[in-house]
Structure 1
Amino acid sequence: MTTFQFPKDFKWGVATAAYQIEGAFNEDGRGLSIWDVFSHTPGNVLNGDNGDIACDSYHRYPEDIALMKELGVHMYRFSISWPRIFPKGRGDINRKGLEFYHRLVDELLQNEIEPLCTLYHWDLPQVLQEEGGWNNRQTIDDFVEYASLMFSEFNGKIKKWITFNEPWCISYLSNYFGAHAPGYKDLQLATNVAHHLLIAHGKTVQKFREMGIDGEIGIAPNISWAVPFTSKQEDVEACLRTIAWTGDWFMDPIFFGKYPDVLMTHFQKAGVTVPIQQGDMETISQPIDFLGVNYYSASVNRFREDAGILQSEAVDVGYEKTDIGWPIDARGLYESLCYIKNKYPNISIYITENGACINDEPVNGQVHDRRRIQYMKQHLIQVQRCIEEGIPIKGYMAWSLLDNFEWAEGYSKRFGIVFVDFDTLERVKKDSFYWYQNVIKTGRVES
């Protein structure tokens, strides 16, 4: 048996997102989000599922925080529903929405759980989408208005903020592949959205500094890793483009004030341009305090001329997969973090999401999710390995506390360490809950 010991001040936590768990979609003055509209449009979500009720955490948050307290976490990463605060995207403030998040944060603090707040986890107010959404630069200012209110309301209570969760998903998955709300399939539109997100991020960081807010602010891209199928240069380059699209495309502008050449050239060949206006890159490249990293899987890729914009084809080489079909490759997390350390300035990192879709059901009131435990163990070993390498990883947020609304997959895919019966909303702690509880208590993983 090998023991992997974590630092004493390492922050252990869990993560969720508002639309995936809250429900109460039309209560207490909340406006509609793009996900309300998208999920209610036939054909967009498996089985016609939606987030109207989800885990009902809007009403059951004390129960969920009690689960976290029992688990022993130090930190809870959650997101705020923008349309719960500004039902029309801007202007009139919904005080009942603010009161809900004050109750949530107060309950966390009373239980000695530090809030890590994501300002945007995909639920844009629908009224703003009808004005062009993130393709409209006005939405940038609307977001800064919303963020500023959150900063002033929660200054002193919330000390860690994330501007955007997985900007690649907000832009390309949602506006090029059309898999998520608002469901468009336009590469130029998606690229416009990506750029505008980065400007919104930069302006929000500027506002955070101007307001003298007590705390830290960062962003959480979803990081992918790709291993070349062969040592051929064309396969190696295809992998570099794959890695760059979700990570470097968003991190290079923040850290270096420019987009990565490896992709700019590729996009230009496809007739796609980035709508950069004067001053944009200076705005985007505001210093941040930490980087969130969301990691789930890696791939083996090879060059293929007709394999999409990147000309990079993922090859199934027989890796074990989770129940959502993603290959399990924990080494990809190690490689990704080493890549970040070597390329970007030395910056504190939080693993803001990592977890596995394992669809085990209760048997005699227990959920024996052995494969999830194995997944978490493998990935935490790689995190500890990175810490030994000198990479400043400060914490790990397991995705997710609860089984929840898994976007286009509806309720068919379970990522939680707590099972949720979506008919009764009963919570059942899985074996992985107890395993993770022991990891947190001891500060170590044993293989």
Structure 2
Amino acid sequence: MSITHKFPEGFWWGSATSATQIEGAAHEDGKGLNIWDYWYEKEPNRFFDEVGPQTTSDFYHTYKEDIARMKEIGHNSFRFSISWSRLIPGGEGEVNEKAVTFYNNVIDELLAQGIEPFVNLFHFDMPLELQEIGGWENRKVIDLYVDFANKAFGLFGDRVSKWFTFNEPIVPVEGGYLYDFHYPNIVDAKKAFQVAYNTMIANAKAIKAFRNHSIKDGKIGIILNLTPSYPRSQNPADLKAANIADLFFNRSFLDPAVLGEYPKELIDVLKEHGHLPTVEAEDKQLLKENTVDILGVNYYQPRRVKAKESLPNPYGPFMPDWFFDNYEMPGRKMNPYRGWEIYEKGIYDIMINLKENYGNIESFISENGMGVQNEERFLKDGRIEDDYRIDFIKGHLTWLHKAIHEGCNAKGYHLWTFMDNWSWMNAYKNRYGFFSVNLETKERTAKKSAYWIKEVAKNNGF
């Protein structure tokens, strides 16, 4: 094939996943309970087809074969997370040696296959015992998290140089404290903002701890789902709505992570409505001195907003949505299976924003992907012909290529995800992987997109 989009030398081709979503073995080898294990036991009806996290895609037992498959399709990098409740059951105290063995085996196998491990420390999976004392609402949990991070750096830092503190830290805030789609199912904006703030203090403290380990070529970052906020029009009311959505959903994490401080406008809005979090005197300096080296960007869809049509209910709970309404742009391109807009240019807009306003920080696309329900509809001669996924990836890579061409510091592209994995409340409703997973037999089968990405990785372009 003729290559029209060539990527820089050493570009990271790979995929991403998380512990709870692929490992399975939820009750094996001394793993403690996390909030997902507990919530599923309590309310299985909240999960699609009542499929819980006990077995998921069984990576705990099949990692060796799966990593061989990654190699086969040209991965040179792979992001996974360490389960806090597996490594330190209960969230504090001694490490679980069986967990150490498992993560050592995964890291060693990746390296043996020429795949660089990118390790993330927290991906929505709070140990249950720590949630019971308030989770991220409680500053004690920050210190326990830093202890967990320190143990991980010490155990695996001799072979892992790329580390991430959190994946999409806004999601536990939205899901757990605003919109009721994650445990603890609290609707309380005051607590939500405290959780968001404490997460960023934990991020800064983990970065500080990381710098005390002499990890060769070590870089530490955070992974944020950046969702550009596009106004319906250039009317000042629409522009203001988009700006506030951006403050709440993007800059509340992006600014402290990269610039070391919160946007003044965000502080002003929270102050005006009596929702400022409780802070400690040394926090400001801590944030300023411990910013990320690298930024992972998860991008799936844009956020389109307009000015409010009607005033918020004064008796309802305070919400970010008091300041804007969502807007459905006529003629938008859709993923009909997920109800999400597909807007490839969003990836370019994010990168240009990072270049212009965030010091062109080293970054990469850490997740991008297309979830499709009942993919077996596209089965042909034993293979899922997921041309829609190839088109989706190609469209996003085209805009990423343009951003790099214009000087953006983007180093790689990871698809969500390598093989179909368990997605929280959605379980296996939507499939995202290069490989399909048969839930009964756990058998993996490459989809058409796996063969396509293999060629892209081989040619470093398409």
2:386 pairs with one of 361, 369, 385: 369
Q: 1:443 to 1:364 in 2, by over 3 A?
A: same
Name the aligned partner's letter for residue 18 of structure 1: A
Residue equivalent to 1:103 = 105
Distance 2:77 2:12 in 1: 7
Name the aligned partner's letter for residue 118 of structure 2: L
Residue equivalent to 1:313 = 325
Shift of the alpha carbon at 1:363?
Answer: 3.4
Name the aligned partner's letter for residue 121 of structure 1: H
Distance 2:131 2:409 in 1: 38
Distance 2:273 2:287 in 1: 25
Distance 2:307 2:267 in 1: 18
1:48 pairs with one of 47, 50, 58: 50
1:258 pairs with one of 258, 261, 266: 261
The ranges of structure 1 where at least 4 consecutive aligned residues each deviate by more than 6 angstroms after the TM superposition are: none
Residue equivalent to 2:233 = 230
Answer yes or no: is the 8 Å Cα contact 1:37–1:126 preserved in 2: yes
In the alignment, structure 1 residue 210 sits paired with structure 2 residue 212: yes
Residue equivalent to 1:243 = 246
Residue equivalent to 1:30 = 31
Matches within 5 A, 1:371-386: 371-386=388-403
Distance 1:181 1:388 in 2: 42
Structure 2, unmatched stretches of 5+, are: 313-318
Distance 2:243 2:397 in 1: 25
Residue equivalent to 1:335 = 349
Deviations 1:260-293 (A, max 9, x none): 2332233233321122211112212313211111
Distance 1:45 1:258 in 2: 38
Distance 2:440 2:257 in 1: 44
- TM-score w.r.t. the length of structure 2 is 0.93
Deviations 1:137-186 (A, max 9, x none): 00001001001011011122111000000011122232211212332211
Deviations 1:39-95 (A, max 9, x none): 333243222221110001100111110110101111010001000011111112111
Residue equivalent to 2:222 = 219
Matches within 5 A, 1:99-248: 99-214=101-216, 215-248=218-251
**Equivalent position SS for 1:292:** strand
In the alignment, structure 1 residue 89 sits paired with structure 2 residue 106: no
Residue equivalent to 2:436 = 419
Shift of the alpha carbon at 1:258?
Answer: 2.6
Name the aligned partner's letter for residue 61 of structure 1: Y
Answer yes or no: is the 8 Å Cα contact 2:3–2:461 preserved in 1: no
Name the aligned partner's letter for residue 292 of structure 1: G
- TM-score w.r.t. the length of structure 1 is 0.96
1:400 pairs with one of 398, 414, 417: 417
Structure 1, unmatched stretches of 5+, are: none
Name the aligned partner's letter for residue 296 of structure 2: G
Q: 1:233 to 1:2 in 2, by over 3 A?
A: farther
Answer yes or no: is the 8 Å Cα contact 1:173–1:180 preserved in 2: yes
**Equivalent position SS for 2:334:** coil
Distance 2:230 2:130 in 1: 39
Percent of aligned pairs with the same amino acid? 36
Name the aligned partner's letter for residue 427 of structure 1: R
Residue equivalent to 1:344 = 358
Deviations 1:366-409 (A, max 9, x none): 10111111110010111111101101111111110011111111
Name the aligned partner's letter for residue 343 of structure 2: D
Answer yes or no: is the 8 Å Cα contact 1:25–1:52 preserved in 2: yes
Matches within 5 A, 1:64-75: 64-75=66-77
**Equivalent position SS for 1:153:** helix
Answer yes or no: is the 8 Å Cα contact 1:163–1:219 preserved in 2: yes
Residue equivalent to 2:19 = 18
Matches within 5 A, 1:253-292: 253-285=256-288, 286-292=290-296
Name the aligned partner's letter for residue 38 of structure 1: W
Name the aligned partner's letter for residue 407 of structure 2: G
Name the aligned partner's letter for residue 279 of structure 1: E
Distance 1:423 1:162 in 2: 33
Answer yes or no: is the 8 Å Cα contact 2:348–2:402 preserved in 1: yes
Distance 2:86 2:54 in 1: 13
Q: 1:210 to 1:2 in 2, by over 3 A?
A: closer
1:302 pairs with one of 278, 299, 306: 306
Name the aligned partner's letter for residue 37 of structure 2: D
**Equivalent position SS for 2:117:** strand
Q: 1:166 to 1:126 in 2, by over 3 A?
A: same
Distance 2:445 2:126 in 1: 31
Shift of the alpha carbon at 1:251?
Answer: 1.9
Distance 1:157 1:12 in 2: 19
Residue equivalent to 2:316 = none
Answer yes or no: is the 8 Å Cα contact 1:4–1:384 preserved in 2: yes
Shift of the alpha carbon at 1:306?
Answer: 4.2
Name the aligned partner's letter for residue 313 of structure 1: D
Shift of the alpha carbon at 1:355?
Answer: 0.8
**Equivalent position SS for 1:416:** coil
Q: 1:142 to 1:378 in 2, by over 3 A?
A: same
